[in-house]
Amino acid sequence: MVRIYHNSRCSKSRATLALLEGHDVEVVNYLDTPPDAAELRRLLKLLGISARQLLRSGEAIYKELGLAEARLDDEALIAAMAAHPILIERPIVVANGKAVVGRPPESVLAIL
pLDDT band of residue 34 (cuts 50, 70, 90) is: very high
Find the catalytic residue in 3, 4, 9, 10: 10
In a domain? residue 51: no
Give kind and range of the element (H or E) at residue 99: strand 98-101
**pTM score, two decimals?**
0.94
Domain span including residue 108: 1-30+90-112
pLDDT band of residue 26 (cuts 50, 70, 90) is: very high
> DSSP assignment, residue 55?
B
pLDDT band of residue 2 (cuts 50, 70, 90) is: very high
Mean pLDDT of 25-48: 98
Active site residue 72: no
In a domain? residue 98: yes
In a domain? residue 85: no
In a domain? residue 73: no
51, 40 Cβ separation under 8 angstroms: yes
Query: How many structural domains does the chain have?
Result: 1
In a domain? residue 52: no
In a domain? residue 99: yes
In a domain? residue 71: no
Please provide the average confidence, as pLDDT, over all residues in the chain: 97
